[in-house]
Amino acid sequence: MKKAMSNVDVAAMVKELQDRILGGFMGKAYQQSSDRIWLSVQSPAEGRLDLLLETGRRVHITKAERPASKTPPQFPTMLRSHLSGGRIVDIRQHQFDRVLEIKVERSGTARYLIVELFPKGSMILLDESRNILSMLRKMLYRGRKMAAGEPYLYHPGQLDPRTIARDELALWLASSGQDLVRSLVRGLNMGGTYGEEVCLVAGVDKNKEAIDLDPGEIDRVHQALSEVFLNETLDPHIVIEDGAPIDVLPRPLKLYSGLEKKRFVTFSEALDAFFVEREKETTRQDPLEHRIELQRKAIEEFRSQEAELVRKGELIYQLYGSVEQILTLMNDARARGFSYNQIWERISGSGLPQAKTILSLDGRGEMRVFLDGEELELNAELAVPQNAQRYYDKAKDMVRKARGAQSALAITEELKAGKVAPKKTRAVSSYYRRRKPKWYERFRWFYSSDGFLVLGGRDADSNEEIYAKYLERRDLAMHTDAPGAPLTAIKTEGKEVPESTLQEAAGFAVSYSSLWKSGLAAADCYLVKGDQVSKTPESGEFLKKGAFVIRGERRYFRDVPLGIALGIRDGVLIGGPVSAAKPGSDPVVEIEQGELNPDDLAKRIYRQFSLKVEDRAFLKSVASVDQIVQFLPPGNSRIKE
């Protein structure tokens, strides 16, 4: 069943809204959910109408019941402040993309409301200079800084199927490396339904390799693009198969010939009926059936992403010379002393050929490039094979996720069949009194498997505090040769420290250092006595905050594995080396280097904890998202499968 409007639907809706509300006036804005806004509009011909905007899904006039008036959240408040009473002077679609824009003028000042209908899109209010005033929800796009005061930037567009020249189409098909339907969908701005429609109208097998098309077939495909996308006839309807609605369209498709159609006067009415019925169907659906449906879709999505990531990894090798040329350009500029931000400023503001190839570049060398009709993500500090390997590694992650989803699906199907009883979540505690934190909990810390307290600084200030207040002569200290590591102190209390504790402290020292960000699986650190650590530099030298001088012999620990575990033990959130933190903790997760920033990872860990801890008040008090973040290493990570 269709989930969202296509770019063809957006084009048809723009035409309808231009006829019905252009020249009218904006009323109040209401927010029904996190992604749905209602706008009251005074139409010149029809009077008051309700315009429903739902990011990532739909835009149309609705007759559904509007949410009750109440104090609006921030975004609809901004819409009321800037748009209410203003005249609607323009409604358009951006470059045949799933982006609709409404221009409103009030007191001689223009405002723009952008509705992004692609997956994970947002809704953005712009000022007269097209700078962002407010957003329905904050989004993070690679190469796009989406924040108030920043200029709004569009996603890079694809080839337009309505205007593409025959020679341009032939060149794209010859270089796509895929069958015809996938080449049309990935290179030209259309979804799978319209890709199949073009093949059907052209009379060309959709599974035929695009490079094998003869000139006559290319001519037919080019003609079919015009017939499908330049057709302006309007016949709004819902397509019904086996008694269930499967699609809603502004005009008929050959693909659905023979299927039942329910026709409407306007496209808005068709969309309203289709999506309302879809929501009712979801509400009526058995919870386990709904879970099975979502899990199956997740498995399909993981497998699809895996195939796409492998394809892009292979594409990097196919474009080896072009990729290497871009990386060499970056390396040469870096060798001349330019930062990545300076390189981007020079490239983006110039007329160099690279300006069209390199779409974005951040301060860490991460960039998006457009080569051979494909968008690729590269890192300027990696070689060509390493950049390809990043895609292969991500593909392996998708395989693991698909396996996990497959296992979850099997359990859900057994539950539905009544073969197993649902497991009851275990409450850790039905009553919890907030305890007073220990003095060492403001640092990084853990108790070794032998019972020794190990401390580590979070930053330069806490490193200084550990040295000044808590590192005694009888204690042991650990550090790495690489900068950006915590001063790790083992509180001995005058006792002999076993080798197992030293190994755990070594893992703690390397895992919470800057080495975590480098992606290394193992690293080195050294051990010294407490009295070997000093803040007194050599004559003529200077020590910055958080730095120390180590004098005397050091004992090195080589190839210490990086890895962290977080868990709840005895009503306390703990974190540290796996061998120390995992035993006796329930729930518990292991952390490895990955792709999630600390905030996103902490949310996932909290959700995983909540599956085992029924008492949410207890969980929030001992292991809130903010508390979990404090135990995570610097840089990106993920939960170890």
What is the full DSSP assignment across 552-598?
A: S--EEEEEEEP-EEEEEETTEEEEE-HHHHSTT-SSEEEEEEEEE-H
End-to-end CA gap in the chain: 33
Say which residues have a Cβ less than 8 Å from residue 588's Cβ, sequence separation at least 6. 565, 566, 567, 568, 581, 582
For the stretch 54-69, pLDDT in tens is 998 999 999 887 766 5
What average pLDDT score do residues 460-469 get? 85
122 in Cβ contact with 144 (< 8 Å): no
At 636, list the tokens: 């990106």
Nearest CA-CA partner of 234 in 265, 193, 255, 206: 265
At 95, list the tokens: 């470059």
479 in Cβ contact with 488 (< 8 Å): yes
Query: Is the predicted pLDDT of residue 17 greater than 90, yes or no?
Result: yes
> What CATH number should be reported for the domain whose range is 7-135?
2.30.310.10
Please give the single-letter amino acid code of residue 383.
A
At 224, list the tokens: 């079919």
88 in Cβ contact with 21 (< 8 Å): yes
Query: Is the predicted pLDDT of residue 431 greater than 70, yes or no?
Result: no
| Structural domain boundaries in the chain | 7-135, 166-229, 439-639
Say which residues have a Cβ less than 8 Å from residue 68's Cβ, sequence separation at least 6. none
Q: Give the containing element (helix H, strand E) for 192.
A: helix 192-202
Nearest CA-CA partner of 74 in 138, 139, 154: 138
For the stretch 573-602, pLDDT in tens is 999 998 888 888 888 999 998 888 888 899
pLDDT value of position 349: 63
Determine how many CB atoms are found less than 10 A away from the CB of residue 256: 18
340 in Cβ contact with 380 (< 8 Å): yes
Cα separations (Å) of 176 from 85, 159, 202, 212, 377? Answer: 49, 13, 19, 11, 18
Instruction: Quote the mean pLDDT of the chain.
Output: 86
What average pLDDT score do residues 18-45 get? 92
Burial class (CB in 10 A: 0-12, 13-18, 19+), 166: middle
Q: Whole-prediction pTM value?
A: 0.51
Query: Is the predicted pLDDT of residue 284 greater than 70, yes or no?
Result: no
Backbone angles phi, psi at 265, to 5 degrees: -70, -45
d(CA 343, CA 352): 12
pLDDT value of position 281: 52
Helix, strand, or coil here: 511?
A: helix
Q: Please report the beta strands in 250-308, taking only residues with DSSP state E, as ranges in sequence order.
A: 260-263
At 323, list the tokens: 């990729």
The correct CATH number of 166-229 out of 3.40.640.10, 1.10.1200.10, 1.10.8.50, 3.30.70.360 is 1.10.8.50
For the stretch 535-576, pLDDT in tens is 777 776 766 776 788 888 999 999 899 999 999 988 889 999
200 in Cβ contact with 220 (< 8 Å): no
Say which residues have a Cβ less than 8 Å from residue 418's Cβ, sequence separation at least 6. none
For the stretch 243-280, pLDDT in tens is 889 999 999 999 999 899 999 999 999 999 998 766 55
Backbone angles phi, psi at 99, to 5 degrees: -135, 125
Write a three-state SS string for 58-93.
EEEEECCCCCCCCCCCHHHHHHHHHHCCCEEEEEEE
Say which residues have a Cβ less than 8 Å from residue 612's Cβ, sequence separation at least 6. 425, 426, 428, 586, 587
What b/e string do you get for 484-499 counting C-beta neighbours within 10 Å, with b at 16 or more?
ebbbbbbbbeeeebee
For the stretch 164-220, pLDDT in tens is 999 999 999 998 888 999 999 988 988 889 999 999 999 999 999 999 999 999 999
pLDDT value of position 425: 43
Our CA dihedral for 372, 375, 380, 385, rounded to 10 degrees, sits at -70
For the stretch 120-178, pLDDT in tens is 788 999 999 999 999 987 765 555 567 788 888 887 777 899 999 999 999 999 988 88
d(CA 488, CA 476): 8
Half-sphere exposure of 575 (CA within 13 A, CB side): 25
pLDDT value of position 93: 95
